Amino acid sequence: MAAAELLSQEFELGFTYTRSTGPVVGKFLTGLRDGKVYGVRGSDGRVLVPPAEYDPVTAAPLTDFVEVGQEGRLLSWCWVSEPREAHLLQQPFAWAMVQLDGADVPMIHCLEAPSAEAVTTGARVSISWADERQGFITDIRCFTLLQGAAS
């Protein structure tokens, strides 16, 4: 039997989803587009960011939106030394859990930093907005480290 040719081909499978946000996520994304961050207050008084659609304790719909700060505290992080093509930042960065001032839970996003050595848990960080915002989580380009003492 003759040796077969080695056949190889690249292809791309695309799922071109468009999703409805619903009113709560829509409020959050509209806020991002306008340069603001909204959370929602739960039945126990905690401010959840990004806003949850339903109360984690009572499961009731949540509508009490609260604008929170654009700086916060780094609760935990994981350094990515080799970013992949799909990552927002193409230089080494950290996945970060950031609790914004006025929020009671952290949210996940990227943290831009010169090196892993520059990052410490508890550091103060700030939102760096994208130049053009469109109502998407990437309107927050990333978080950046604030100089000064950790809180």
Partner 1 sequence: MSEPQADVTVVKSPVYLKYRFTAGSAPARFLGRLKEGVLTGQRCPRCSNVYIPARGSCPACGVPTEKEVVLSDKGTVQSFTIVSIPIPGNPIEPPYIVANIVPDGANISFIHLLSECVNEEVHIGQRVQALWKPAAEWGYSMDNIRYFRPLDEPDVAVDRIGKLPVTGLES
Which residues are near partner 1 by CB under 8 A?
Answer: 1, 4-21, 26-27, 29-30, 33, 135-136
What distance lies between CA 18 and its chain's CA centroid? 19
Q: How far is the CB of 129 from partner 1 (least distance, A)?
A: 15
CB of 79 to partner 1, least distance (A): 25
Q: How far is the CB of 132 from partner 1 (least distance, A)?
A: 12
Rounded Cα distance between 80 and 87, Å, is 10
CB 11, CB 49: distance < 8 Å: no
Q: Nearer to partner 1 by C-beta: 10 or 131?
A: 10
Task: Quote the longest CA-to-CA distance of the chain.
Answer: 74
Q: What type of residue sits at position 115? A: S
Nearest-approach distance from CB 40 to partner 1, in angstroms: 16
Element housing 25 (H / E): helix 22-33
Q: Which is nearer to partner 1, 11 or 148 (CB)?
A: 11
Nearest to partner 1 of 28, 77 (CB atom): 28
Q: Report d(CA 138, CA 56) in Å as an integer.
A: 26
With respect to partner 1, which residue has the nearer C-beta, 19 or 117?
Answer: 19
